[in-house]
Amino acid sequence: MANHKSALKRIRSNDVKRIRNKYQHKSTRTAIKKLKLAEKDEAVKLLPNVLGMIDKLAKNNIIHNNKAGNLKSNLTKYVSAL
């Protein structure tokens, strides 16, 4: 158990941030799956939104920048190949 007030606050804030990060990451993964199941015209419409979600995850250090780049590249190739 924490011994200082600041440590208790840090524990609380870490829990809030962890839950927020988990929600954003899961939402992005769901959007990626939805994109892959969509038809050509719908996938083209969804792509910019999904790429923005991936960029936001990378900006907030939820995923690594290289992983974000790989995901964006693969999704763009996938949609263009439809």
Domain hosting residue 31, numbered range: 13-81
Structure tokens at 5: 């007030």
Q: Above 80 in pLDDT, residue 1?
A: no
How many other C-beta atoms are found inside a 10 Å radius of the C-beta of residue 68? 20
7 in any annotated domain: no
Structure tokens at 3: 């011994």
Q: For residues 28 and 68, is the Cβ–Cβ distance under 8 A?
A: no
2 in any annotated domain: no
Q: How many domains is the chain built from?
A: 1
What is residue 54's predicted lDDT score, i.e. its pLDDT? Answer: 95
φ, ψ of residue 4 in degrees (nearest 5): -120, 155
1 in any annotated domain: no
pLDDT digits (tens, 9 = 90+) for 25-43: 999 999 999 999 989 999 9
- CATH number, domain of 32, equals 1.20.58.110
Q: What is the pTM of this model?
A: 0.81
6 in any annotated domain: no
